[in-house]
Structure formats: structure tokens, C-alpha cells
Amino acid sequence: MRVIANPKHAEHAAPGEWESGAVIPCYEAQGRLDAIRAALDAAGGFTFEEPPKLSEDCLTGVHHAAYVAYLREASAEAKRARDPAAKQLWPTVFPYGPNPRATGTRALRGLYCFDTYTPILPGTFAAALGGASAAARAADLVGEGAERAVYVLTRPPGHHAEPDRCGGYCYFNSAAVAAERLSKRGPVAVLDLDVHHGNGTQHIFYSRADVLTVSVHGDPAALYPFFSGFADETGTGAGLGANLNVPLPPGTGVKEYRPALARALDAVRAFKPAFLVFAFGADAHESDPIGGFKLSTKFYAEMGATVRELALPAVVVQEGGYNLDTVGACVAEVLKELQG
């Protein structure tokens, strides 16, 4: 399988994250990509390359221009800072209201971010753009028929990134970039099997009929992002009925997950898409530190084989998975079965 790797991922390495008023080590670490790359090298059958160029053009239709400009400028601001503390831009105030007048840099940090897990660092913009560009390249290869399936190996992840806000470790929504690119060639289904709901992907396409978004994830009543991913969110306007959420309770294991996955795949089949974007996260694994599900490594092979039965040209985009000892094996199992 052809793998498009983010050449800039290492430029973003958050020193920690704020959790309930305390700084804790960041789960979204550089070692995630290294662990996946090592597992794929050991498995064999994968070729690695980088996108030919990094371009903001791939973000059109996915993210607001003002947000893209903010993230670019904020990363540059952090890079110019001499004080090490000033190289980490954290939101402290979250402007709200019908039309919040947020103009100063401190206010803008909260205007363009929705949590305290997602700082902007000197290399954040480059790393996020690298992932989006890798997803765009993969979409072009699949859309042109050059490849049946392409895997995007990237971090930071992307599916929590909203049109105009970062959050959940995510800055640019790579899965949405791939779906937007493919939608120029035919209808697209986005299948999100990360343990956390991809709120950004849902909201980007929520009023569109040409992109189906389907997600199996932990119930947002108990799991991040807490505000999105409920079963009654089905789309709006032209997109009414083109969004399916299948939330599951904490502790979900294979027995409970299997019928939920079947329901998600039935929805994809009924939509009859020309292309699939598979937003894959390994954080539903039983050992993941922030997931809460109980899926085994062996089940990820079954997951890949089941998705393969859709028989759709596919872009697979890496999302979560935070246990460095198991994330690589989960990815390898899914991809080996997906490509048959």
C-alpha cells in the first residue's frame, strides 16, 4: 500500500496539556508516528513518500480563510518569541455571544480554539499543513484511479478541527480535506472509527448532501468532545439524513462494537458513494490511556476486512491512538486486511 507521510509532523510537539487546572504530559506525542512507521516497516508491503508540495490551497472549502491566517500568524508569533514560555500559545479566555468582539491576541487564542489541550507552537502551522497536504495528495491518487487505497500517515490528528477552530489536538482537518477533494469527482462517505467523535468533520459537511459522515464512537455524554456526536444529529438542510452517529457506552467491547460497525457500513452502502474516506483511530483499543473501549488488537484485523467489503476506493487518514506499545500493531492489522 502506498503511504503518504506528513514531512513536517515533528515540528509540532506539545510540551503538555491542561487537564482540570493541571499540566499533564501530552498524549499526542511524536512517538505515535514513529511507532506506526516501525510497525508498517516490519509488516512489509508499504511504500512511503511525502506530498510533492505543501499548499494552503487544499484547505479551501474546509476551513475559513480567517482561521487559516490566524493559525499561520500565531505560529509565526510563537516562533519569533525569545521567552520559551511565549513560544506556547494557550487559550485562557473563550469569547462567546452572538457576535463577540475579539480582536486582541489573547482573545483570539480562545476565539479560534475550543479546549485547553491544543496549544499553538512555532511549528504547529507547518505540521498541520503537512498533514492536510498529505491527505490532498492521497485523495488525488485515489480520485484519479492511480491507487485503490492510500494511507495518510500523519500527526497531529485532524477530525476535531472545526471550520474555524482547533481543538482535541487537531488544527486542520485532513480527513475533511480528502473528502472535499474527492467530492469534486463523486459522492463521498466519511467513515470515522476513532473512539472520539469527529465533531469537526461532522460540522464541515453537516448541510451537504454529497458527503455522508458516519461515526462510531464513545457516547459524548461521557467522552470527549462532550458537545457533539449524539444520535439525534442527522444533518440539516440539504444534508438532512447525511450524518449518522452511533454512540456507544464506556467499556464497549468487541461484542457490542461489531453490530454498531455493521450499522455504520450499511449506511455507507445505502448512500452508494464513489469514494470512501476512512478516518481511523486506534484509541478504541483496550489499552488506550484515554479511550475507554475494550477492542483487542486482533479485532482491528476484522475491522479492516469488514471495511474492505465495501469495495470502495479509499483514503485512510490516521487520527487517534495513544498507547505507543499498541498503536502501530492496530494500524498494521487494519491496513493489511484493508488491502487484502
Rounded to 5 degrees, φ, ψ at 167 are: 165, 160
Q: Is 42 exposed, middle or buried (0-12, 13-18, 19+ CB in 10 A)?
A: exposed
CA atoms of 28 and 170, how far apart (whole Å): 10
Give the list of residues 6+ apart from residue 324 with CB closer than 8 angstroms, or none: 29, 31, 32, 35
CA angle 274, 315, 45 (to 5 degrees): 125
Contact 130, 6 (CB under 8 A): yes
Rounded to 5 degrees, φ, ψ at 193 are: -115, 25
Task: Assess whether the previous peptide bond of 119 is cis (omega < 30° from 0).
Answer: no
Q: Strand, coil or helix: what is 112?
A: coil
CA atoms of 139 and 175, how far apart (whole Å): 10
Give the list of residues 6+ apart from residue 296 with CB closer than 8 angstroms, or none: 254, 285, 286
Whole-angstrom CA distances from 193 to 28, 79, 112, 283 are 18, 35, 26, 9
Contact 286, 294 (CB under 8 A): yes
How many CB atoms lie under 10 A from the CB of residue 50?
A: 16
Q: Which residues are catalytic?
A: 160
CA atoms of 327 and 280, how far apart (whole Å): 11
The 10 Å CB-count burial string (b at 16+, else e) for 193-213 is: bbbbbbbbbbbbbbebebbbb
Any idea how long the chain is? 340
Contact 312, 214 (CB under 8 A): no
